[in-house]
A and B are shown apart, each in its own frame.
Chain A
Amino acid sequence: MLIRKLLRTAWGYKAQFISMIIMITLGMGIFLGFNMEWRTIEVDTGRFFSDTNYADYRLYSEKGFTFDDLQKIASIDGVDRATRYLSVNLDIKGEKNKSLALDVSESFNVSTFLVTDGADYDENSDGFWLSDKFAAVNDYAVGDTLTLEFRGVEISGEIVGLIKSGEHMICVADKNQLMPDYSTFGYAYITPKKLRTAVESKMKSTAVDELKKSGIPEAFIDDSLSRLLFTEKDIGEAMDQVYAQINLLSAMDKETLEDAVKEQLGRTIMVTPKDDHVVYQEAMGEAEEGKTMGSVLPVLFLLIAILTMVTTMHRIATKEKLQIGTLKALGFRNRRILRHYTAYGLFIGLVGTGLGMLLGLGVCKLVMSENGMMGTYFDMPDWSAATPAFCYPVMAGTVLLLTLISFLSVRQQLKGTAADALRPYSPKKMRKMLLERFRFWDRMKFGTKWNLRDLSRHKSRSAMTLFGIVGCMILMVGGLGMRDTMAGFLDLLDNDISNYTTKVNLADNADKKDSLSLAAEIGGDWESLGGISLDGDTVTLDVVHNPNGMLNVIDESNRRIDLRDDGVYLCLRLKDRAQIGDTIKFSPYGSSETYTAKVIGYNRAIMTESVTMTASLADRLGIDYTLTAIYSEKDADELPSSELIAGKQDKAQLMETFNSFVQIMDSMVVILVVAAVILGIVVLYNLGIMSYLERSRELATLKVLGFRNRSIGRLLISQNIWLTVVGVIVGLPLGVGVLQWLLTALAGEYEMKLMLGPLTYSVSILLTFGVSLLVGLMVAQKNKKIDMVEALKGTD
């Protein structure tokens, strides 16, 4: 019988029950969704990395590694597996603006791939294993032919398989590209044997040139003659130079490995852990970003949901006081009554959490699935949904907490005798407010006084409403502000930092002198990016030559810095390392030299943590560097072709790759803003209805006295509007604060400056007021139907 009563009572309070379930669903759903997102990134990428033997460490040497070097490294105690490795960006012949990273894993036991179509890896194969995503976008299939140009030699062959590789899970040409763009860049693997053939062909063509130069008639020059000019050993040495990387699997820490490598090879080698590799770094960065986001905004949702639950359950319990008293008078034991009413909280908790789990899964899948937001970013075979372990106790805890809230609310009503419980609930007695001591109080309209006193009489309800509006405002400012900041960042990159038309990426083995002549021929600015060790950490040394303003370095206030030659600039993330005027010591990888330089300023670095200096300072210090890119105002077509050039990137095209990043951001913002609006509507409607029910007797009295519906509606709406004004005033700076906190927490990845456009302010404020007005009107509408006769029956 009591169960029937439970269901009927729940139906009687359906507005409250439904809104509480929606609140818990939303709170739990957003909380789970965001937290599942980062956990799924960790789990799925982790599995993929493990399946494709993603390297724990990459050793770089410009001079390359010999087979002997590899064996020495592999023999280090703690190194599980090692391979010589090549990864080089090459243009596809016959295609405009399409290039591939060509990878070779000599031993094919580290940095391997999974085949999704075609043949498995075979060390004797003469074909290409091509990225399946690149193949799909560019209409390549197994059986098609592919030709790449490697150091002036064509590497041609059939596509034998389509693959996915952990090394290129985020397929970007370099660290300056934010998002993959498979229409222009992909990756492919070949066997070491095929690479050796290419190297041999190159050597042959060099030999032919030499023979021609020495005056031997072309008719006498053939393969066997040219082959006489170099030996197997020469080919081996050339291969040694090509393998500029050793990739290895090891659980050792970086310092120990570095020491062991130095001891084995007798020279300092640049050892980069996977944390510094763009793929792992970005993937973990995404997970970290998710953790940060998951720790603030969704928690806010859940908190608002639970607090609203406290207020609503308390109100329902007081409204049920007479029924509680009746049950008690009938002879029901306290425990039974408690169990009955506690079931409400349990019911709301279970249904809300259950639906929240579904919503959470939906939110997670919206982000983490092949067709979801991350689908354009990560290229991996399996997409699952993983929940962080701490979410289970949070779910159980929330259900328990909600049950406890109803338990405590009802227990309060059960205190005393049955007669006490049967006495109707009497609201708190009115007390004068502080405001009433001032003269202006007497001049206030009755409606204003009425609303002010009502707010002060029902403090918890007012506080909850305010909390809801503030939360709604924080979510909107946070969401829209993130978009503004991102847009501002891209605008900065497009207009203030990059003034070039084409970025010319130079080959890894490009000679410095030749590169400088090419830069002079092309015109424009250039830079050199190389790894240095600063206090034991790997950071980038950015040597910049920018007299033409094609590539600018900007300060904390986004103004262009005219680089000086008397010292270095630290990026903002390294600001706490040294003050202006301090001296820093650093050592480039592959060199045993340590250099000292004075810090003369800080700059906003776009991607990597970096130390920036002018070319003339680098020359004066005697740092050995090679040019990595030339920035020119000419179009890609107008640039000369050269062996030194590994690829050309249009700025417009590069900026285009950011668009998908912005789209991801936009979808997140839409989720947050929609959630904020729903949250606002549900919280305000729930509390609005509660306030309306509590005041229905007063409203009926006003109606009887002769107040029109519209004047009474105005009274109700104006209270909402006041609370909204206060909520907006409090919520706006809080929203900016939360955003600033998020940006600081995410600063490990980017150095973005908080930017908020006037549109964000106005949209957030207008939407919040819109929600408040809408809910006010919905509640005021109910006033028309108030039954004056019914409402006036009985005592207060």
Chain B
Amino acid sequence: MAIVQFENVTKTYTSGDHELKALNDVSFTLDEGKFVVILGPSGAGKSTLLNLLGGLDSPTQGTITVNGRDISTLSDNELADYRAATVGFVFQFYNLIPTLTVYENVALVSEISKDSLDAKQMIAQVGLSDHLHNFPSELSGGEQQRISIARALAKNPKILLCDEPTGALDSETGVMVLKLLLSMAKNYGKTIVIVTHNQSIAKMADVVIRVKNGRIRSVEEQAEPMSADEVEW
């Protein structure tokens, strides 16, 4: 069943007289529970795609339907509610709140999500129960990203959106984080969309969408994706 549907989506950025089409007439659908990788070089439009899907931005043209609801015409508050209930984000630079502890960063989402999961349990699942009362600055990059994954999943969203989640980590830690991300998404039955320029990650995906110059080059379904251990990093 399709959970995401992009129909003729265009995103144009205007700066003075200059117009830049970051996405140009993009259409595709994603099925629920799949692991999707959006692949493309810098400036291809993959982050714009993720931002539109995440409700951080609205398309200039076209419609985006998520879980049966058109999100392209939502108001600011409706978009905020959509982000709170439907999507969870994992960023390249973690984006934890520096003045909140590990536990507070994860528990924070209970203030906006009616359906949130237990923060301590989520932290235990990413293996950081010993660091409940530490501040983010007291953790390594990998640990911070694990907390970021716990926070994203604690909202109990339908879709997990990850923007270069391993981009700031060394390869060993990156693989570990990726494994954790996939296993947790699978356990909780989430659709996961990762934006990256790392070809290796694409080998693990159910679906690979290649983007270039603001257009979809290909949408490729992989019948037998590799496991993280099989991929050569």
- Contact surface of A with B, Cβ cutoff 8 Å: 427, 429-430, 432, 445-446, 449-450, 453-454, 457, 697-698, 700-711, 784, 788-789, 792, 794-796
Bound: A703/B54 CA distance, A: 12
Task: For chain B, residues 67 to 102, give those with C-beta under 8 angstroms from any C-beta of chain A.
Answer: 76-77, 80-85, 89, 91, 93, 95-100
By beta carbon, the residue of chain A nearest B84 is A706
Are the CB atoms of A709 and B76 closer together than 8 Å?
yes
Provide a sorted-by-A list of 7 A–B residue pairs whose CB atoms are within 8 angstroms: A430-B98, A430-B135, A449-B99, A703-B83, A705-B108, A707-B84, A707-B112
Known: A446-B108, A706-B112, A795-B168. A701 touches B135 (CB 8 A): no
Q: Which residues of B contact A795 (CB under 8 A)?
A: 93, 168
Out of A454, A706, A792, name the residue touching B83 (CB < 8 Å): A706
By beta carbon, the residue of chain B nearest A784 is B76
By beta carbon, the residue of chain B nearest A445 is B111
Q: CB of B57 within 8 A of chain A?
A: yes
Bound: A794/B109 CA distance, A: 23
Q: Which residues of B contact A788 (CB under 8 A)?
A: 51, 56-57
Known: A430-B98, A430-B99, A430-B135. A705 touches B76 (CB 8 A): no
Shortest Cβ gap from B108 to chain A (Å): 5
Shortest Cβ gap from A210 to chain B (Å): 103
Q: Which residues of A contact B56 (CB under 8 A)?
A: 704, 788-789
Bound: A498/B113 CA distance, A: 72
Q: CB of B137 within 8 A of chain A?
A: yes
Are the CB atoms of B83 and A698 closer together than 8 Å?
no
Shortest Cβ gap from B118 to chain A (Å): 15
Bound: A34/B38 CA distance, A: 68
Bound: A698/B133 CA distance, A: 19
Are the CB atoms of B135 and A697 closer together than 8 Å?
no
Q: CB of B104 within 8 A of chain A?
A: yes
Shortest Cβ gap from A609 to chain B (Å): 61
Q: CB of B149 within 8 A of chain A?
A: no
By beta carbon, the residue of chain A nearest B163 is A792
Out of A429, A702, A708, A792, name the residue touching B91 (CB < 8 Å): A792
Are the CB atoms of A427 and B98 closer together than 8 Å?
yes
Are the CB atoms of B155 and A706 closer together than 8 Å?
yes
Out of A446, A707, A709, A710, name the residue touching B100 (CB < 8 Å): A446
Bound: A707/B110 CA distance, A: 11
Known: A429-B138, A704-B83, A705-B108. A796 touches B98 (CB 8 A): yes
Q: Which residues of B contact A453 (CB under 8 A)?
A: 99-100
Out of B54, B80, B100, name the residue touching A449 (CB < 8 Å): B100
Are the CB atoms of B93 and A698 closer together than 8 Å?
no
Q: Which residues of B contact A427 (CB under 8 A)?
A: 98
Q: CB of B123 within 8 A of chain A?
A: no
By beta carbon, the residue of chain A nearest B81 is A706
Bound: A698/B138 CA distance, A: 17
- Which of A429, A450, A705, A784 has most B Cβ within 10 Å? A705
Bound: A561/B91 CA distance, A: 80
Known: A704-B83, A705-B112, A707-B112. A430 touches B77 (CB 8 A): no
Bound: A445/B110 CA distance, A: 11
Bound: A399/B57 CA distance, A: 46
Known: A446-B108, A789-B56, A792-B91. A705 touches B135 (CB 8 A): no
Q: Which residues of B contact A794 (CB under 8 A)?
A: 93
Q: CB of B205 within 8 A of chain A?
A: no
Are the CB atoms of A706 and B100 closer together than 8 Å?
no
Shortest Cβ gap from A278 to chain B (Å): 64
Shortest Cβ gap from B29 to chain A (Å): 24
Q: CB of B107 within 8 A of chain A?
A: yes
Q: Which residues of A contact B109 (CB under 8 A)?
A: 705-706
- Which of A430, A445, A449, A700 has most B Cβ within 10 Å? A430
Known: A429-B138, A446-B104, A705-B112. A454 touches B80 (CB 8 A): no
Are the CB atoms of B99 and A706 closer together than 8 Å?
no
Are the CB atoms of A706 and B80 closer together than 8 Å?
yes
Shortest Cβ gap from A527 to chain B (Å): 70
Bound: A430/B137 CA distance, A: 7
By beta carbon, the residue of chain B nearest A701 is B95
Bound: A705/B80 CA distance, A: 8
Bound: A784/B98 CA distance, A: 22
| Range for the number of chain B residues in contact with chain A | 35 or more
Known: A704-B56, A705-B112. A450 touches B99 (CB 8 A): yes
Bound: A705/B88 CA distance, A: 7
Counting from the closest, the 3 A-B pairs by CB-CB distance are A706-B84, A453-B99, A706-B83
Q: Which residues of A contact B47 (CB under 8 A)?
A: 789
Bound: A445/B107 CA distance, A: 10
Out of B99, B137, B151, name the residue touching A454 (CB < 8 Å): B99
By beta carbon, the residue of chain A nearest B99 is A453
Known: A446-B100, A698-B98, A698-B99. A706 touches B113 (CB 8 A): yes
Are the CB atoms of B99 and A446 closer together than 8 Å?
no
- Which of B57, B82, B83 has most A Cβ within 10 Å? B83
Are the CB atoms of A450 and B135 closer together than 8 Å?
no
Q: Which residues of A contact B85 (CB under 8 A)?
A: 706
Are the CB atoms of A705 and B83 closer together than 8 Å?
yes
Bound: A446/B108 CA distance, A: 6
Known: A429-B138, A794-B93. A709 touches B155 (CB 8 A): no
Are the CB atoms of A708 and B54 closer together than 8 Å?
no
By beta carbon, the residue of chain B nearest A788 is B56
Are the CB atoms of B104 and A449 closer together than 8 Å?
yes
Task: For chain B, residues 155 to 177, give those with C-beta under 8 angstroms from any C-beta of chain A.
Answer: 155, 168
By beta carbon, the residue of chain A nearest B157 is A706
Bound: A709/B78 CA distance, A: 11
Shortest Cβ gap from B232 to chain A (Å): 28
By beta carbon, the residue of chain B nearest A796 is B98
Q: Which residues of A contact B89 (CB under 8 A)?
A: 704-705
Are the CB atoms of A450 and B93 closer together than 8 Å?
no
- Which of A429, A701, A702, A703 has most B Cβ within 10 Å? A701
Q: Which residues of A contact B96 (CB under 8 A)?
A: 701
- Which of A445, A454, A711, A792 has most B Cβ within 10 Å? A792
Bound: A457/B99 CA distance, A: 8
By beta carbon, the residue of chain A nearest B138 is A429
Bound: A770/B16 CA distance, A: 39
By beta carbon, the residue of chain A nearest B93 is A795
By beta carbon, the residue of chain B nearest A710 is B77
Bound: A454/B135 CA distance, A: 13
Are the CB atoms of B95 and A704 closer together than 8 Å?
yes
Shortest Cβ gap from B225 to chain A (Å): 28
Are the CB atoms of A708 and B97 closer together than 8 Å?
no
Shortest Cβ gap from B87 to chain A (Å): 8
Shortest Cβ gap from B44 to chain A (Å): 16
Are the CB atoms of A446 and B135 closer together than 8 Å?
no
By beta carbon, the residue of chain B nearest A794 is B93
Shortest Cβ gap from A448 to chain B (Å): 11
Out of A429, A445, A450, A702, name the residue touching B137 (CB < 8 Å): A429
By beta carbon, the residue of chain A nearest B78 is A708
Task: For chain B, residues 6 to 62, give those with C-beta under 8 angstroms from any C-beta of chain A.
Answer: 47, 51, 54, 56-57
Bound: A707/B111 CA distance, A: 9
Shortest Cβ gap from B51 to chain A (Å): 5
Out of B57, B99, B100, name the residue touching A789 (CB < 8 Å): B57
Are the CB atoms of B97 and A698 closer together than 8 Å?
yes
Bound: A286/B168 CA distance, A: 69
Q: Which residues of B contact A702 (CB under 8 A)?
A: 97
By beta carbon, the residue of chain B nearest A447 is B111
Are the CB atoms of A709 and B80 closer together than 8 Å?
yes
Bound: A796/B168 CA distance, A: 12
Bound: A795/B168 CA distance, A: 9
Are the CB atoms of B80 and A450 closer together than 8 Å?
no
Shortest Cβ gap from A784 to chain B (Å): 7
Bound: A697/B84 CA distance, A: 18
Q: Which residues of A contact B108 (CB under 8 A)?
A: 446, 705
Are the CB atoms of A705 and B84 closer together than 8 Å?
yes
By beta carbon, the residue of chain A nearest B96 is A701
Out of A429, A704, A711, name the residue touching B54 (CB < 8 Å): A704
Q: Which residues of A contact B138 (CB under 8 A)?
A: 429
Shortest Cβ gap from A734 to chain B (Å): 30
